[in-house]
Structure 1
Amino acid sequence: PKEDRDRLRAELKYQFPEDDVRRELYIQRLSDKLKGNVTLETKGLKPEEIEVNARHILISWKGSQPGQSPVTRTQAQAEKLAKELLAKAQANQGGFADLAKEYSDDQGSKPQGGDLGWFNRMTMVKPFADAAFNAKPGSVVGPVKTQYGYHIIKVEDRRVSEARQQQEVTKFLNEQKKKMKMVVLAPDFKAAQAYQEYQREKSTKDKKAAEPKRLAALSAYETAIKERPRDPVNYAMLGIMYHDAAQYQKALDVLQKGAALQPPLAQIQLSLGDVYRKMKQPDKALNAYKLAGRYAGSDADVHRQLLIAYEQMKQRDLAKAQMQWLMNTQQSQGPMMPQGQ
């Protein structure tokens, strides 16, 4: 849209070729790239670079689902029930979440209506992954048999991972910088640049020299939030900076505002958990960490940080679940990710 191109033009300082047509094509292409409107080809991508958002209903039988609460039904009874639920789910997809809450044996996703969040192929057992990644968004498939039971799967959406999208955007911008002089003036980019400068100065362990950089980064993120109040990333970064400065109430205020935005950001919940722990509120910290796990999808860095946090809080079962997820991911084979853990 013209207003988007005009806004982007105001945020960029550049030297363009004189040809107006080439200038307009460049603006549109850059806008599309930054907004994620350019479809990235999935051919040649690694398995972990494609993600699916799905819900599922798990129907187990006696002897399946190791490590979770036992069930008494036989495998034949489980298969019969799974087929019945598949028919109901396909007839009324809007009621899938209610069916999951009533029937699913997956205690991790059941309270959320079977919601598994975003995940890649590497974090699921093969039969489940094959079914989920071969299904079209909006479809309900199954029953899929795994060692955990029979699954009815509703695929909500599919995307190229955020990490790969960011790689594409960065690659594109770097290519353009080689062709023309361009300084990005968007407030969130300026804030990120200021934060990097602060981190570099901080690494020298010269606190006196680092302090002006820290204040500049704080100011830059505050400005970014004022100009782009719907971007949760800026709230996450400002909250982290307040936390690192032991300004816990300010961190809490900023992070709570960011947590109310869409899409939900795992890093915000992770930082909220850290702040609540500093403020001696372990129950709230635990709830925030569980939400971070739910929103993390296939982000191994978040799961590693959750493992450390749970170990520090002596939450052995939750720490064990995170360790198992990381091991399964590393081995490219294993049970479903520990949603909500």
Structure 2
Amino acid sequence: MSRTKRGAWRGISAAAQDPSKPRLTTSAMIASLAGADQRTSPAPFGRALVELGKTRPEILGLTADLAKYTDLHVFAQAYPDRFYQMGMAEQNLMLTAAGLAHEGFIPFVTTYAAFASRRTFDFISQGIAEEGLPVKICCALPGLTTGYGPSHQATEDIAIFRGMPDLVIVDPCDALDIEQAVPAIAAHDGPVYMRLLRGQVPMVLDEYDYTFELGKAKLLRDGADALVISSGFMTMRALETAKLLAADKVEVAVLHVPTIKPLDQEAILREAGRTGRMVVVAENHTEIGGLGEAVATLLLRESVIPPRFRQIALPDAFLDAGALPTLHDRYGISAEAMVRSIKVWL
């Protein structure tokens, strides 16, 4: 039995041991992040790219055999003459995109985050970033958004890419964030790495008068007891956590940071510098080298020292395979686990 299958069996069995919880099947390894009653929007990345393509003929779509699983198939159906299926050859995918960018096109490249960060780093660095080319690398399965084990869980992708000069890094929260980020990153004159949520993507931020701006963080709600600085779907979890803690009269503010690099230093310093609040950074990424360390470094460098600083992040380890709800609770990134952690720290 493969490592992935062993891990999947182990994770599902762990959930099934609790009789108060429904038995999880292997479909939970690739389940949507949306809750049972949560609003969703289908394929926001693909639909946003189609809309952008109506007025931007230089927009192209390229993928490494993963159009269906990155929602790029929506663009391929709308513009078949502007879509390139490169097969399972990720290095070739990146350098082909670089060549097309040299000719004046804006390629949107999709694959899984694990493959882009681990398999093609040097090709992106030398062929795209060093040349300053407007290639947009948009990758599904970031962090712990799949239960298929370490081969597909890109828990360290931000750490890998943060060190690459001139590469913008975007980690959107929900469908609205993705839809608004697509034209914004297309307008950026340079390379971008964006993490993707795919399929039926939760819709959350429309309730908070939110608009995506490249390089800008947004305070979604205020609170006097703790400040959660978050990115990606962990902002959704942070908002859930804040609502749950409000029932216990704990006031939690949430600062959404969709752009990891460049970091919105002004917003982070302003909110973290307010007197008396614990600062918690929540991210769907290993505790090493991601948003948490970026924020900690910024606060230390600028002598902004909150009463407490904590991280909610994935461990520095190869994670188990299994059902996503089980894994998120096990590794502390479910809303319920966040509530438990913040109560202890307070």
- Name the TM-score, length of structure 2 as normaliser: 0.25
The structure whose Rg is larger is 1
Higher relative contact order (CA 8 A, sep 6+): 2
Whose strand fraction is larger, Structure 1's or Structure 2's? 2
